[in-house]
Structure 1
Amino acid sequence: MAIPAEMWTQARAAAPTPPKPASGGSGSFRGDIEGMRAVAVLLVLLGHAGIHHLPGGFVGVDVFFVISGFLITGLLLTELDQRGRLSLVDFYARRAKRLLPAAATVLVATLVLTYYFLPRGRWSTTAWDVIASACYAMNWRMAGQSLDYVAANDAPSIAQHFWSLAVEEQFYLVWPLLLIALGWVARRRARGRHGLYLFGLALIAVPSFGWALRVSPTDPSAYYVTTTRMWELALGGAIAVTATWLSRSPRLVAVPLAWAGLIVVGASAVLIRTEAGFPGYAALGPTLGTAAVIAFGPAAGRAGPALLLGRQPLRYVGGISYSLYLWHWPLLIAAQAHFGELGVVAALAVVAASAIPAALTYHFIENPVRRSPTLTARPPAALRVGAVCTCAAALAGLLFQLAIPSTAGPASTSVIMGQVPGATTQAAPPPAPGAMALGSSPRTSRAGAPVDQVASITPDPLAAKQDASLQNASCHVDLVSSTPKACVHGKPDSTTRVALVGDSHADHWIPALRGAAETNDWRLATYTKSGCPFLTAEISLDDRPYASCTEWNRRVRAELLGADRPDILITTHSVYPVRGEPESRSQSAMARELRKTWSSLIAEKLPVVVLRDTPLHLKDIAECVSENLKRLTRCAAPRAAALRLGGGPAQEEAAKGLTGVHLIDLNDWICPANRCAPVIGGVLVWRDAHHLTATYSATLAPRLGTALKPAIAEL
């Protein structure tokens, strides 16, 4: 992704340059590959802009990986052939002066965009994202967040596109060292060096591809981690090793294969509709297609894709593709944060506008640094420049983080209107009543109506994401594990044994249930898992089969019907697709499977209480509140739409007429008015778009206890 056109003149195959330099041999500038870089970045940009016909635009990243593997391996092999050794100082100096100045510029600019356009609630996360990006570790941070159900539902990071650059640089920490070792062996044997190089690439590619095939179908973190991506770069490296042999392919063979490769890349962007399964079998299309264009382009000559890819407009876009890739995403995220959800036309306008800073970066930062005679002649100086750029970007992120006002613990922190969030106050506000302010008739209570401003808000909206019971990892199962974790609340030896089972929407009821259990001397056992409803059927998560959820459900069911059997089961969940069911029948399929699950428990003499799912909003309420402390009504969503979007409709359909199931709906105390007030009784209701704050949940304890008593009385 980050290879300058000038480096083509240095890149030579491990054997003599093939003929037809105009069509692009590995030892000459190849306009077709420069054009291929343009294709790759345009696929990414158009995909991010939301072009409906390019759902798989993200395959442009796979194209970049293969191209980078080819180019860098070609440079390394050239140096081995010409000098008989590799200089790691020279290699990393070239990488540093090529990549780091532009990256540091964009990362610092990203912090500026964050300050002016992103909500304050995202500032801290963005600062750490910039630090991770500067250190080329963003892919591992993204991988961790993809397994964190709470983080996975956050707005996209303004620096998340740096993950692919991190993958490349991590690969180049390994490959040159392995190549040095293989080159040493080749010199001692004095023959078979190409075979040794291919063997080295196979040592990387085969385990990497095997691991990708194993984990990609079910593990969302597989998309980002280096271990599943290295085979794509190694594939490009293999083309570089065999470039001379491939350049001798008959034109009648090379022309159709090269064109077929380009067509396959385009078809992949059109036909692949999800990142699920990447980079496994689905990634073979864009990677092998790119490999075919590179491999057979020289033999195909002007009759091949070079006819299209070698044209000047595409070549120019390919030249600035690195800067274009760096700039487009921060501008898209900043525009979205400022103007709201962007339509396709608006997003395309932002993407097009990103070409301006990209071109300026290319001409005034990239080119002057990488063409500097001083830095070229003195590689250690280039390394120092790179180190300064990395440290500057990381330090900027750290200073940005330190400059953010700190907040206290989420349960006790509040915002007093007229003060800066996070500032020290002289006296804490009195305890906020939350749902208790609504009285017994919430739908007519003035306390539930949205207003522009309130005296204080608990918790501080900037700390709301931490105001959640699932932060206790010992009591909540993450996306990966299938081992149930039960936690007991209330009176352990009570004769009334209650169990709560479900996903994070069950988890956010724990403060309310815990309060009710303590008041009524119940024993409450909780079993919760991220993104996993209590259901015997298999569901999908991010278009992947959620196998750990299915297994977790099986094990929890065994515990519920075993020696630790409760007297009554309470469950709830958000909305999920049933595996194998079309989207048009999603609700009816879920209702059908819920009914089956509950009926099987009733047959085992275990009564079921279903807490009707809470409203689901289309925006992060805590984030909205933090930005609109004096216009809170901007954060009030229509009640009917919010209730319709969650898992409630399927629950209502499933519970209808089913003996032994009690459906409890407390949404009148959560969204009492026709528009859901973000703050009720001085308490922030939502910590994101669809989870209650633990503080507000706790204020629902008396209402929930009262609602549960009839069901418990029937035992």
Structure 2
Amino acid sequence: MLTLSPTSPPAATVEQAATGSRKTGFYRHDLDGLRGVAIALVAMFHVWFGRVSGGVDVFLALSGFFFGGKILRATLSPDSSLAPLPEVVRLVRRLLPALVVVLASCALLTILIQPQTRWETFADQSLASLGYYQNWELASTVADYLRAGEAVSPLQHIWSMSVQGQFYIAFLALIFGSASLVRRRLGSRLRIFFVVLLSALTVASFGYAICAHQANQATAYYNSFARAWELLVGALVGALVPYIRWPMWLRTVTASVALAAILSCGALIDGVRQFPGPWALVPVGATVLMILAAANRHAHPGTRDRMPLPNRLLATAPLVTLGAMAYSLYLWHWPLLIFWLSYTGHRHANVVEGAAILLLSGVLAYLTLRHVEDPLRYRGPHTAGRPEPTIPWRRRLRRPTMVLGSVVALLGVTLTATSFTWRQHVTVQRASGKELSGLSSRDYPGARALVTPVRVPKLRMRPTVLEAKRDVPPSTRDGCISDFTNTALINCTYGDHDARRTIALAGGSHAEHWLTALDLLGRMHHFKVVTYLKMGCPLSTEEVPLIMGNNAAYPQCHDWVQKTMAKLIADRPDYVFTTSTRPWNIKPGDVMPGTYIGIWQAFSDNNIPVLAMRDTPWLVKDGKPFEPADCLAKGGNASSCGIKRSEVLSERNPTLDFVDQFPLLKPLDMSDAICRADICRAVEGNVLIYHDAHHISATYMRTMAGELGRQIGAATGWW
């Protein structure tokens, strides 16, 4: 999972940040430069290293300092208005124009480059970005079984701006609301009240971040309250800055250490897995130290001479200019990277490609800042009450024209309407998918075309590329599979509910997708199917399981397996149906993991026979999962969107090597109903085999019921 960049509120002066004065004072060019360093780190680490640099956390802390300080100054002034609407209008004018322009450009590139199967996700995320809830959209994607395998979104980086937008509104409501209630009664003690309030909220948010990080780091990464402490720390520093007094030598040492921590954070800390937990204190704490190092109240106004050397370096013109472009540069660099990788099919950008992406991002950021952001942000040559902008073109700004504002507004409305329209179109397309369960076996033989060769008429493939995403087993629709965070065991019954014979379907999603066929066979041969399922969690004795695909730690799986094994042994079904192999992650083919042996032993010790299904092939090219529906949507065919059989399946079913050791292990192998002798194609018998990169579509699974029934009948002797 990757990060993004935040917004860059206007900088403040030391006098304003420290004392609340509206007079022009010592402008903090160094913090503009710090923004420049942060955006450079974010972009370079994304483009060339695929890592989190910590730059986003620097942005969050700076945003809290600037915005929080501004709001606190307003409330501490007894004569100031506490109306939040003007601040909201300023935020909209500052943030939305550039965002709308980038989103509209991304929409066009999505249509030109991405397959139709990706358009719905883009529509959802563009609406989430415009509505500033993209972080929650991404959090739900992480936890959503149907979307867990989706490709990286060109809008994924907008999550941090959503966090900031939510913080700005919540902070406005909290501070202005509190001030309207207690300002008169507290008087000069109002600052102390806010320090105590912000400190309590910061501690609460940080504590929550630690707990959420331990419970489920992937979703905590996008959680607003788990991230709030980073902005609250900045706001709290803004309230305490006036009381900072320390010698130059100590400020120089502190600033040097802090800048070194910011520059090295991405290389030393795996932020993708460690943030927003305690390790996020490194970039956030370093940012706070950089703020405080040059915030000496006795600094000589209007000069940089009394600033520590690291801060003076940050205040140089190139970094200040880069800092001014930070917001637009962050908006542009990530989608350009993702669209380039999608267009070329590369996994990473090389040095030349990365340099070209960064150069183009810089050009587009400059144009966006010059011709969109600043004309709509500043009302004249400079904004009243603020120091004159130091970027040369900002001195020649005119009032924003009605034309520019109208064009941006029209783009936003068009993007919103188009996104809603496409979502409705997909909904209509999927509504026709209800007929998938009743497709003619003659017209859509599916697996039967491989097992018992039959004539295959030339008809449109079903499910279509738009139907495939939701062509899932009934347990997914019924909520009968525990999600990634849930350790509870969910039992549901399918097949013949009144039957005395029972097959327990147990394990992860690769056991689950067989339910479609087992349900049909249960009703036909009079046995019931009871589910014991959890996403991404095959039965295994592994102490620290990993989620297949991203290798993230999955402690909830271990806890669930222990509960499930105890329940299975207590329930004593006639058979347990589960997967017995997994793909190799170091070479082609598949393997039976050693951590499965303890499971077979436990069943054997309790005299419970196992229907051990060889896992279906996982479609991986160049180490990266690919979805046949995407390939077909781009114009590929059944063969070009498939994969060589030798790359995904070993010549011999690995389970067969353990039958002598475990006589109750009954191997099942449906590989020949999915793959031909040399290739596993994307489509057989007019039916799309996979609904994503490695799960069989429910429609194709129905066509495998006959062969599966033959193998189960032979293994059990029931028919």
Normalising TM by the smaller chain, what interval?
0.7 to 0.9
CA-CA distance at 1:638 after TM superposition: 1.9
Aligned partners of 1:493 and 1:2: how far apart in 2?
A: 58
CA-CA distance at 1:274 after TM superposition: 5.1
Task: Summarize deviations over 1:402-444 as a string: whole Å, max 9, x none.
Answer: 5669414465568xxxxxxxxxxxx99964000101135x8xx
Q: 1:439 aligns with which of 451, 468, 471?
A: 451
Aligned partners of 2:86 and 2:107: how far apart in 1?
A: 32
Aligned counterpart, 1:147: 143
1:191-210 matches, within 5 Å, as 191-210=188-207
SS at structure 2 position matched to 1:609: strand
Aligned counterpart, 2:509: 504
AA partner of residue 64 (structure 2):
G
1:108-507 matches, within 5 Å, as 108-184=104-180, 185-219=182-216, 220-246=218-244, 248-273=245-270, 275-299=272-296, 301-345=306-350, 346-373=353-380, 391=413, 393-402=415-424, 406-409=428-431, 411=433, 431-440=443-452, 455-469=459-473, 470-507=475-512
CA-CA distance at 1:574 after TM superposition: 7.7
Q: 1:699 aligns with which of 703, 707, 710?
A: 703
Task: Summarize deviations over 1:518-569 as a string: whole Å, max 9, x none.
Answer: 333222222211111112433133565433323322232232122x321111
SS at structure 2 position matched to 1:276: helix
Q: 1:66 aligns with which of 57, 61, 77?
A: 61
SS at structure 2 position matched to 1:190: helix
Q: 2:641 aligns with which of 635, 639, 647?
A: 635
Aligned partners of 1:657 and 1:226: how far apart in 2?
A: 52
> Residues 574 and 40 from structure 1, CA distance in 2 versus in 1: closer, same or farther, beyond 3 angstroms?
farther
Aligned counterpart, 1:606: 608
> Residues 153 and 274 from structure 1, CA distance in 2 versus in 1: closer, same or farther, beyond 3 angstroms?
farther
Aligned counterpart, 2:682: 678
Task: Summarize deviations over 1:108-143 as a string: whole Å, max 9, x none.
Answer: 222111111111011122112111111111111111
CA-CA distance at 1:187 after TM superposition: 4.3
Which moved further from structure 2: 620-629 or 496-505?
620-629
> Residues 302 and 408 from structure 1, CA distance in 2 versus in 1: closer, same or farther, beyond 3 angstroms?
closer
Q: 2:89 aligns with which of 90, 93, 97?
A: 93
AA partner of residue 465 (structure 2):
P
Is 1:595 aligned to 2:597, yes or no? yes
CA-CA distance at 1:81 after TM superposition: 4.8
Contact 1:136 1:166 survives alignment (8 Å): yes
AA partner of residue 456 (structure 1):
R
Aligned partners of 2:378 and 2:427: how far apart in 1?
A: 42
Aligned partners of 1:348 and 1:667: how far apart in 2?
A: 45
Aligned partners of 1:400 and 1:10: how far apart in 2?
A: 49
AA partner of residue 407 (structure 1):
Q
SS at structure 2 position matched to 1:229: helix
Contact 1:612 1:652 survives alignment (8 Å): no
Aligned partners of 2:208 and 2:607: how far apart in 1?
A: 45
SS at structure 2 position matched to 1:480: coil
Aligned partners of 2:606 and 2:306: how far apart in 1?
A: 73
CA-CA distance at 1:166 after TM superposition: 0.8
CA-CA distance at 1:201 after TM superposition: 1.2
AA partner of residue 358 (structure 2):
V
Q: 1:561 aligns with which of 569, 587, 598?
A: 569
Which moved further from structure 2: 162-171 or 631-640?
631-640
Aligned partners of 1:695 and 1:315: how far apart in 2?
A: 58
SS at structure 2 position matched to 1:570: strand
Contact 1:468 1:508 survives alignment (8 Å): yes
Task: Summarize deviations over 1:584-604 as a string: whole Å, max 9, x none.
Answer: 89x999822210121111101
SS at structure 1 position matched to 2:49: coil
Aligned partners of 1:328 and 1:341: how far apart in 2?
A: 17
> What is the TM-score with the length of structure 1 in the denominator?
0.85
Task: Summarize deviations over 1:55-107 as a string: whole Å, max 9, x none.
Answer: 332x2211111010011122223334554444422212221111011111112
AA partner of residue 512 (structure 2):
D
CA-CA distance at 1:304 after TM superposition: 3.5
CA-CA distance at 1:360 after TM superposition: 0.9
Contact 1:11 1:74 survives alignment (8 Å): no
Aligned identity (percent) is 30
SS at structure 2 position matched to 1:28: coil
Aligned partners of 2:418 and 2:265: how far apart in 1?
A: 39
Aligned partners of 1:428 and 1:355: how far apart in 2?
A: 56
CA-CA distance at 1:465 after TM superposition: 0.9
Aligned partners of 1:649 and 1:74: how far apart in 2?
A: 65
CA-CA distance at 1:333 after TM superposition: 2.2
Gaps spanning 5+ residues in structure 1: where? 415-426, 448-452, 578-582
Q: 2:691 aligns with which of 661, 680, 687?
A: 687
Gaps spanning 5+ residues in structure 2: where? 297-304, 385-398, 620-624
SS at structure 2 position matched to 1:531: coil
SS at structure 1 position matched to 2:366: helix
Which moved further from structure 2: 128-137 or 40-49?
40-49
Aligned partners of 2:130 and 2:151: how far apart in 1?
A: 21
Aligned partners of 1:355 and 1:45: how far apart in 2?
A: 10
> Residues 232 and 316 from structure 1, CA distance in 2 versus in 1: closer, same or farther, beyond 3 angstroms?
same
Aligned partners of 1:368 and 1:463: how far apart in 2?
A: 45
Contact 1:502 1:573 survives alignment (8 Å): no
SS at structure 2 position matched to 1:98: helix
CA-CA distance at 1:620 after TM superposition: 1.0
Aligned partners of 1:643 and 1:84: how far apart in 2?
A: 72
Which moved further from structure 2: 193-202 or 543-552?
543-552
Contact 1:536 1:550 survives alignment (8 Å): yes
Say how many residue pairs are matched: 673
Q: 1:533 aligns with which of 524, 534, 538?
A: 538
AA partner of residue 276 (structure 2):
P
SS at structure 2 position matched to 1:526: strand
CA-CA distance at 1:495 after TM superposition: 4.2
> Residues 400 and 27 from structure 1, CA distance in 2 versus in 1: closer, same or farther, beyond 3 angstroms?
farther
AA partner of residue 638 (structure 1):
K
> Residues 560 and 306 from structure 1, CA distance in 2 versus in 1: closer, same or farther, beyond 3 angstroms?
same
> Residues 153 and 90 from structure 1, CA distance in 2 versus in 1: closer, same or farther, beyond 3 angstroms?
same
> Residues 413 and 310 from structure 1, CA distance in 2 versus in 1: closer, same or farther, beyond 3 angstroms?
farther
Aligned counterpart, 2:577: 570
Contact 1:412 1:459 survives alignment (8 Å): no
> What is the TM-score with the length of structure 2 in the denominator?
0.85
Q: 2:557 aligns with which of 549, 554, 560?
A: 549
